[in-house]
Structure 1
Amino acid sequence: MIQTVIFDMDGVLVDTEPLHHDAFFRHFAELGIPMSAEEYATFLGSSTRNVYQQLKQEFGLVGDVETLMLRKRELFGAAFDADTELDLLPGARELVLDLHRAGVPLQLASSASKETIARVFTRFGLYPYFDNLVSGEDFPRSKPDPAIFLHAAKLAGVAPQHCLVIEDSANGVTAAKAAGMYCIGYRSEHSEGQDLHHADRIVSHLGQLDAAQIVGFDQKQKP
């Protein structure tokens, strides 16, 4: 039986990916880095730190990783604050509230920085519903490494086999399954091109989920 739900943030709760995309590509242009859409797609689900660690090695970038990250976050922060239309994804708030009312503990395990998580949770009033917020910036390796999910489970005091993860990226799904957790792949218009076939179940709208069915999910049998 599922005892806690672990949410990814970008692409599951809120779609900040276009803002990240814009910030990254503005910075890539400043740095003179050529970047294809295909290569950029491989970074989805990775922390900003890991992205710049890889780019620094690949392109021999001048400057340390912290400085590179800071510039990208400045660009993202400006875009986030200026976007007055940004909202939670359809069905996200309803699912969070339904799980909270049912007494299901909620955790966040996002590759986003603590600063970005704080921006989102403050803007949309999500703090009261989550027990723990785990940022990928605290881990040396990003998803598909399972460390972030295993840490979220440890903070929740729940064994991995009793955790359910909601993810929209191939890297996130792979990480959840590597952690030994039940995983729902969220295939929306914002996750185009992501291979979610390793997920135990795939939904196209968060409205397809509710607390009653989530608590009853069993690792041994797909719903």
Structure 2
Amino acid sequence: MIQTVIFDMDGVIIDTEPIHRHAFFTQFAELGIAVSDAEYASFLGSSTRNVFQQLKLQFGLTQDVDALLLRKRVLFNQAFDTDPTLDLLDNVRGLLDDLRAHQVPLVLASSASKATIGRVCARFGLGPYFTHVVSGEDFAQSKPNPAIFQHAAALAGTPVSECVVIEDSANGVAAAKAAGIYCIGYASPHSAGQNLVQADMIIQHFSELSAEKIRAIRVG
């Protein structure tokens, strides 16, 4: 029986992807580098640090990775704070409430920085739902490396065979499977082009899930 549910954040709980995209491409223009849509799509699920580490090597950028990170964060925060339409994805809060009512421990494991996770949690009152919050900035490698999900399961004190990960990116699904965790792929209309074929289950809407359905998942 499933004991713990591990949620990704961007594209799963909230659709901040357009804001991240705006911030990244604004910065790419400032840096004078050309990043294709296809290459950008391959970054989804990766931490911003890992993205800039890769771009620094690819384009020979002279700026420090930390300086690049700070500039991206400023651009993201400006857009996040001034977007009145930003909200949780449809039916996500209902699912969180249902899981909490059934005393299912929840862990947030996002490639986003601690600052961004904190900003999202504060704006939408998400803190009480999660027993632990894990940021990708604490790991040397991003998803598809499984470390973040392995750590999330360890923090929850739950064997990976009794966890479920909910993800919307190909990198995130690959990380969950590499960690040996059952993965529910959310086919988000905001993350088009993501190959979720490795997921054990694919949903189109969060109304398809409930605490009862998740608890009933059989692994192996």
Question: Which consecutive residues of structure 2, in runs of 5 or more, have no partner in the other structure?
Answer: none
AA at the equivalent of 2:133: L
Paired residue for 1:144?
Answer: 144
Shift of 1:65: 0.4
Shift of 1:107: 0.1
Question: Which deviations, in whole Å up to 9, do the C-alpha atoms of 1:203-223 show, x marking residues without a partner?
Answer: 000110000010110112xxx
Sequence identity, in percent? 64
RMSD: 0.5
How many residues were matched structurally?
A: 220
Question: Which deviations, in whole Å up to 9, do the C-alpha atoms of 1:96-137 show, x marking residues without a partner?
Answer: 010000000000000000010001000000101100000000
In the TM superposition, 1:105-120 aligns within 5 A as 105-120=105-120
In the TM superposition, 1:40-119 aligns within 5 A as 40-119=40-119
Secondary structure in 2 matching 1:207: helix
Secondary structure in 1 matching 2:190: helix
Shift of 1:70: 0.3
For 1:8 and 1:141, locate their aligned partners in 2 and report how far apart those are by CA, in whole Å: 16
AA at the equivalent of 1:187: A
Secondary structure in 1 matching 2:155: helix
Question: Which deviations, in whole Å up to 9, do the C-alpha atoms of 1:129-163 show, x marking residues without a partner?
Answer: 10000000000000000000000001000011111
Is residue 20 of structure 1 aligned with residue 28 of structure 2? no
For 2:190 and 2:98, locate their aligned partners in 1 and report how far apart those are by CA, in whole Å: 23
Shift of 1:84: 0.7
For 1:141 and 1:90, locate their aligned partners in 2 and report how far apart those are by CA, in whole Å: 31
Is residue 193 of structure 1 aligned with residue 193 of structure 2? yes
Secondary structure in 2 matching 1:219: coil
For 2:147 and 2:91, locate their aligned partners in 1 and report how far apart those are by CA, in whole Å: 28
Stretches (4+) displaced over 4 A: none
For 2:87 and 2:81, locate their aligned partners in 1 and report how far apart those are by CA, in whole Å: 12
Alignment TM-score, normalising by the size of structure 2: 0.99
